[in-house]
Amino acid sequence: TTTPRVPLLPYVLLGLASTVMSQEPDAEEEWAAVERRGAHLVTGAAERPFIIHGFNTYWLMSFAADEATRPRVTAAIAEAAGAGLNVCRTWAFADGGYHALQTAPFCYDEEVFQALDFVVSEARRYKMRLILSLCNNWEDYGGKAQYVRWGKEAGVDLTSDDDFFSDPTLKGYYKAFVEAVLSRINTITNEAYKDDPTILAWELINEPRCPSDPSGDTLQAWIEEMASYVKSIDTMHLVEIGIEGYYGPSTPELLLVNPDDYSGHVGTDFIRNHQAMGIDLASVHIYSDTWLPDSTEESHVQFVNTWMQQHIDDAANLLAMPIVIGEFGLSLKDGKFENEFRETFMQTVYNNFLGSWESGMIGGGCLLWQLFPEGAEHMDDGYAVIFAKSPSTFNLLANHSRKLEC
């Protein structure tokens, strides 16, 4: 059975209801996997350029696990499609706790897996690609701290959450979970995740850091091992790391591009990390509002320009891979910024990518953090864009879509 369609109030208000149509792709050619060609993405036998114009809504699986909130999943995907967005990044993990997908090592909740099935099938219905993240560096939804707790409960001698990246037992837990997700047969579409072109890419872990080893060796070894492991199961899909993009010890001349001194010593290394075999996309995040808390609006714009252009240049010229700004946003929570500047910030990100893409230099794209439908305001961390309450932001996103001809 399918969930009844949700009235799309923002589109009625904006006179755009007709733009949102749920439509099953009617030919394999139309819904072929997205592939990498050097620093660009293509899809289909004709290798049409594919540009990511995306958004984050991390809680889709959790909301789909509850009948009361499941309609918000459809609304989130449908509203984004109505603005011309074509990729959603969301969590494919929930380690322990409420609505856990992984209730314990090697144990997975079938009802929550069916919720993820629903997310994937709804994305396909609206022609929305997915970037699915497989773990979290942070404690939200479990993450590496939960793996460490499980290890300790099993009697493993662990001293730090960073042991997640090096301990063989914990790496075994993670690999088993990865295999369970990638090999999952969707109960709605009857297609294995690893064969479903709805999925654009797997993300190894959201915002990994390993400050206990600032040399970067520990995290590098983990990235190499896990990228290879994912590719051993799934040769079709692209893989990204999920790092924030901080430069590290392999490029000391670029440490000054980082927002502060600390960020160059958290165990990540933008260039070296992306030279690992099996990594297809260069992942970067942009949060100048938290990275540079005391800066002026002009300083934020300048930082975005410098941060993006350096990473775009390096992704194109050193790494020869597409760039994915996996998260970017500006919080309105503390009242420091108004929506007008948030839109200026967003436009700055889009303009930087657009200029480089139009010149033929690089492909990939950008994903806003984050997009919510009405009825999910309680999940807002200050970054949420709700179309019904911000028609101007809807128009900004729709205009960018037209420029990209997504």
160-163: long-range pairs with CB below 8 Å, 24+: 160/212, 162/210, 162/211, 162/212, 162/213, 162/218, 162/267
Q: What are phi and psi of 155, to 5 degrees?
A: 90, 10
Question: What is d(CA 401, CA 352) in angstroms, rounded to the nearest whole number?
Answer: 15
Active site residue: 240, 244, 327, 343, which one? 327
The amino acid sitting at 337 is: F
Q: Position of tokens 């409420």?
A: 98
Sheet of strand 40-43: strand arrangement: 34-37, 40-43, 48-49
Q: How many CB atoms lie within 10 A of CB 378?
A: 6
Q: Which of 301, 365, 295, 287 is nearest to 336 (CA)?
A: 295
The residues, ordered by sequence, that sit 6+ positions from 359 with a Cβ below 8 Å of its Cβ are: none
Catalytic site residue 30? no
171 and 178 Cβ atoms separated by less than 8 Å:
no
Active site residue: 122, 207, 244, 343, which one? 207
Sign of CA dihedral 371, 179, 138, 312: negative
Q: Position of tokens 């309105």?
A: 332
Question: What is d(CA 401, CA 354) in angstroms, rounded to the nearest whole number?
Answer: 11
Q: What are phi and psi of 118, to 5 degrees?
A: -65, -45
Catalytic site residue 327? yes
Q: Which of 79, 77, 88 is nearest to 52 (CA)?
A: 88
Tokens of 80: 């984004």
Q: How many CB atoms lie within 10 A of CB 364?
A: 28
How do strand 48-49 and strand 40-43 relate by DSSP bridges? antiparallel
Residue 190 gets the label, from left (phi > 0), alpha (psi -120 to 50) or beta, of left
Q: Which residues carry out catalysis?
A: 207, 327
